[in-house]
Amino acid sequence: MLQADAEVHCHAKIMRMTEADPDEAALREAGAILAAGGLVAFPTETVYGLGGNALDPEASRRIYAAKGRPSDNPLIVHIASIDALDRIAAEVPETAKRLASQCWPGPLTMIFRKREIVPDETTGGLDSVAVRFPSNRIASLLIRYAGGYVAAPSANTSGRPSPTTAAHVIEDLRDAVDCIIDGGPVEIGLESTIVDFTVTPPVILRPGYINQEMLTELIGTVDMDPGIQSESENIRPKAPGMKYRHYAPKAELTIVSGTQKNAAERIAALVHEQIKAGRKAGIICSDETKEMYPEGTVWSLGARTEETQIAAHLYGILRACDTAGVDVIYSEAFRTPQLGDAIMNRLTKAAGHRIIDADEKDEQI
């Protein structure tokens, strides 16, 4: 009902379609909106993007305004063919070309020196440009109809969890964009891996679905930016956007790590205290532990053996915490094999680095 209401009062035109059967006429229309300087939100395999023509400085300015995004936080330029890269990027190393041929289209963003054609507004004043070729068919058709270069940050209000459904986009941006393409829930649910190729060896600036081990296997040494997980003000992440508080629900979120049993017991005890103090508490857990919590509002991200499901559900559940109006949230940690770095990076930021280790003995002893 809430969603239907939101749509009635929605300024944006909403187009519905599936990835299996994209509506080409509608996408041509949406592409024309982009080419004329308008804003269109659209699905990709990672999260929903807020698109504008990447070669039009005015369109980029509109993107920052719509999201309330700081203007020093550069946008990723989305393309729909590997050949499109040369027009915007200079000095593309051989290793990057190899990676492009293996991982594009897909959830990988690469950073190169930019060519003059890319406006400073799109790159937040940097002389480098971030580029991605998404695999979602709705996205690639839209990019083609828009002229080939679409700047698209995640389609959320700055600071909120990234949108994984069109309903999330409508919630945040319904009056700020011209068109929203609803292509159903996204596949991955976490933003792309970002690799900086302006340095040697290349450096991961944001962990994602394609992890360090996979990259190393494909092209040799790839470092991880030490600023990614750092709490220190002195070790700043290299991607400007990674320094901002992000992905965050309104309630105070704390991660409780440790063995499954210790973590669940500690969370249950903390929730009990909060409820006794008159606060509404939420719990983010997994199918394996969800029965271990007698009190509080319990959200399971899915089974730990299905880590893609954990990733796909994370942002939707952080938003559900807001809707439920909980005051505090406790989350289990999710250090799963392939996506653990990416999931924990988002969760740690959402928690403002508040982590309790349930395996440590009582602090008072």
Picked from ligand AMP, Mg ion, none, the partner binding residue 128 (CB below 5 to 8 A depending on kind) is ligand AMP
Picked from ligand AMP, Mg ion, none, the partner binding residue 96 (CB below 5 to 8 A depending on kind) is none
Q: Please say which residue, 60 or 331, places its beta carbon nearer to ligand AMP.
A: 60
Q: How far is the CB of 162 from Mg ion (least distance, A)?
A: 5
What residue number has its CB nearest to ligand AMP?
Answer: 241
Q: Please say which residue, 30 or 242, places its beta carbon nearer to ligand AMP.
A: 242
What is the Cα Rg of the chain in Å? 21
Q: How far is the CB of 250 from ligand AMP (least distance, A)?
A: 20
Q: H or E element: which one contains 138?
A: helix 137-146
For residues 136 to 165, the per-residue mask of contacts with Mg ion, x marking binding by CB under 5 A and - elsewhere, is ------------------x-----------
Q: Please say which residue, 154 or 198, places its beta carbon nearer to Mg ion.
A: 154
Task: Count other C-beta atoms under 10 Å from residue 306's C-beta.
Answer: 15
Q: Please say which residue, 85 or 242, places its beta carbon nearer to ligand AMP.
A: 242
Q: Please say which residue, 105 or 296, places its beta carbon nearer to ligand AMP.
A: 105
Q: How far is the CB of 305 from ligand AMP (least distance, A)?
A: 28
Q: Please say which residue, 123 or 289, places its beta carbon nearer to ligand AMP.
A: 123
Q: In 3-state terms, what secondary structure has residue 33?
A: helix
For Mg ion, how many residues bind (rule: CB under 5 A)?
A: 1
Token pair, residue 87, equals: 């027009």
Q: H or E element: which one contains 53?
A: strand 49-53
HEC assignment per residue over 229-282:
CCCCCCCCCCCHHHHCCCCCCCCEEEEEECCHHHHHHHHHHHHHHHHHCCCCEE
Cis peptide before 105 (omega within 30 of 0): yes
Q: 157-193 burial by CB neighbour count: b if 16+ within 10 A, else e?
A: bbebbbbbbbbbbbbbbbebbbbbbbbebbbbbbbbb
Picked from Mg ion, ligand AMP, none, the partner binding residue 123 (CB below 5 to 8 A depending on kind) is ligand AMP
What residue number has its CB nearest to Mg ion?
Answer: 154
Picked from ligand AMP, Mg ion, none, the partner binding residue 210 (CB below 5 to 8 A depending on kind) is none
C-alpha torsion 210→212→213→215, nearest 10 = 70
How far is residue 70's CA from residue 257's CA, in Å, rounded to a whole number?
Answer: 32
Token pair, residue 40, equals: 């269109």
- Sign of CA pseudo-dihedral 298, 171, 28, 152: negative
Q: How far is the CB of 164 from ligand AMP (least distance, A)?
A: 13
Q: At what angle do helices 137-146 and 24-35 cross, to 10 degrees?
A: 50
Q: How far is the CB of 208 from Mg ion (least distance, A)?
A: 12
Q: Find tokens 């040697």 and name the residue.
A: 200
Residues that bind ligand AMP (CB under 6 A): 73-74, 76, 111, 123, 126, 128-130, 153-154, 191, 194, 205-206, 239-242
How far is residue 270's CA from residue 355's CA, in Å, rounded to a whole number?
Answer: 13
Q: Please say which residue, 44 or 140, places its beta carbon nearer to ligand AMP.
A: 44
Nearest residue to 124 (alpha-carbon basis) of 244, 22, 15, 210: 244
Q: How far is the CB of 25 from ligand AMP (least distance, A)?
A: 28
Q: Please say which residue, 73 or 297, places its beta carbon nearer to ligand AMP.
A: 73
Q: How far is the CB of 185 from Mg ion (least distance, A)?
A: 18
Q: How far is the CB of 321 from ligand AMP (least distance, A)?
A: 21
Q: How far is the CB of 293 from ligand AMP (least distance, A)?
A: 32
Q: In 3-state terms, what secondary structure has residue 331?
A: strand
Picked from ligand AMP, Mg ion, none, the partner binding residue 53 (CB below 5 to 8 A depending on kind) is none
Picked from Mg ion, ligand AMP, none, the partner binding residue 194 (CB below 5 to 8 A depending on kind) is ligand AMP
Q: Please say which residue, 185 or 237, places its beta carbon nearer to ligand AMP.
A: 237
Q: Give the residues lining the site for Mg ion (CB under 5 A).
A: 154
